[in-house]
Amino acid sequence: MIENTIQKIRSEIEDRIESFDSSKSLYEFRKDFLDNKDGKIAQLMKNMRDVPKEERPAMGKVINEVKQWAIARFDEMDKRVKAIELEKKNKAEAVDVTMPAEKNEIGALHPDTLIENELIDIFTGMGFEIYEGREIENDYYNFTALNTPKDHPARDMQDTFYVSDEFLLRTQTSAGQIHVMENKKPPIKILSPGKVFRSDDDATHSPMFSQMEGLVVDEGISVCDLQGMLNTFSERIFGEGVKTRLRPSYFPFTEPSVEVDVSCFECGGKGCKLCKGTGWIEVLGAGMVNRHVLENCGIDPDKYTGFAFGMGVERIAMLKYGINNIKTLFESDTRFAKQFKD
């Protein structure tokens, strides 16, 4: 009887043991037979109670034999399955060391950033402090305090994006001048870089662009200080020997106001395509801070004077790198930026 059962157990194991390809399912199968409590072999032991005493040792021996056989058989199979599993895993994780490495693309700074960094270097070298203004302003800071009251015709030059009745996207970094002068008494010497916004869109204008604003206020500041600083700036950004020239102009917040030209760095002033045959290139607006602006900020215009200037960063980048459409600066094409790598 017991021999039959044992034979059955052996063949049940033999029939299936070779078919497993995962150690987990093999382990489940093993439990069916070798679990200490519910395994078929453990169950055989339980039956011993019903067997006459004198037959028990012999029977115990056969059961033990099949148990040892099963353990050995499962252990051996487990080794084989685990070896196959390991091989599979290694294959899946295999690395082809002869494969060429993936190239890490190295980016480049945008021409706007290059120019901005260069300008910041030049001006901080002359003792300017950086003041970053705010992109959302109200009418007072962007226009009124800058001597441009409502209905002033100069407002038409800067088509404004309003975000509410009260707030607008600043059209000029000049708005920062007012914040600075409200919070700090002279001597003042700041450079304010930042984005500005205007409803304007063609080959040389973009609805968003960057400006650099400068403001110097102290006792005895004159146009000579402005001119001296401009000469240093022009030579450093466009090259040695580049001259500056001031042309009368008009801005509400400066009096007198000037348009600043530099001698053409392409042809040396003889006249070429870049300077349209004139020998000069317009680069920025500037002037002596209008006394009304100083008064608006609580600074005594009889004691203090100052100069201010503002330039378009994209314009400088386009001139310096020979870019003729401002759109290329905003297309985010990395191939474009890479051309200007230092």
Q: Is 287 in the site for ligand DAH (CB under 6 A)?
A: yes
Q: Is 234 in the site for ligand DAH (CB under 6 A)?
A: no
Calpha distance 320→62 (Å, rounded): 98
Rounded to a whole number of angstroms, the distance between the first and last alpha carbons of the chain is 93
By Cβ distance, which residue is nearest to ligand DAH? 310
Calpha distance 160→150 (Å, rounded): 13
Q: Is 310 in the site for ligand DAH (CB under 6 A)?
A: yes
Which of 23/148 has CB closer to ligand DAH?
148
Q: Is 252 in the site for ligand DAH (CB under 6 A)?
A: no
Which of 41/191 has CB closer to ligand DAH?
191
Whole-number minimum distance, CB 189 to ligand DAH, in Å?
A: 14
- Give 169's strand partners: 136
Q: Is 139 in the site for ligand DAH (CB under 6 A)?
A: no
Q: Is 174 in the site for ligand DAH (CB under 6 A)?
A: yes
Which of 7/161 has CB closer to ligand DAH?
161
Exactly one of 123, 309, 317, 326 binds ligand DAH (CB under 6 A); which one?
309
Which of 147/254 has CB closer to ligand DAH?
254
What kind and span of H or E run contains 179? helix 175-183
String of DSSP letters for 12-58: HHHHHHTT---HHHHHHHHHHHH-TTTSHHHHHHHHGGGS-GGGHHH
Whole-number minimum distance, CB 180 to ligand DAH, in Å?
A: 12
Compute how many other C-beta atoms are within 10 angstroms of the C-beta atom of residue 108: 17
Residues in the chain: 342
Nearest Cα neighbor of 175 from 202, 135, 205, 206 is 135
Calpha distance 3→191 (Å, rounded): 100
Q: Which segment (10-18, 123-131, 274-282, 307-315) binds ligand DAH by CB under 6 A?
A: 307-315
Which of 257/263 has CB closer to ligand DAH?
257
Q: Is 119 in the site for ligand DAH (CB under 6 A)?
A: no
Q: Which amino acid is at 52?
A: P
Q: Is 286 in the site for ligand DAH (CB under 6 A)?
A: yes
Exactly one of 13, 308, 318, 319 binds ligand DAH (CB under 6 A); which one?
308
Which structure tokens are listed for 152?
């002033």
Calpha distance 216→192 (Å, rounded): 12
Q: Which segment (70-78, 183-191, 265-273, 308-316) binds ligand DAH by CB under 6 A?
A: 308-316
Calpha distance 202→156 (Å, rounded): 17
Give the residues lining the site for ligand DAH (CB under 6 A).
Answer: 172, 174, 213, 251, 254, 285-287, 308-310
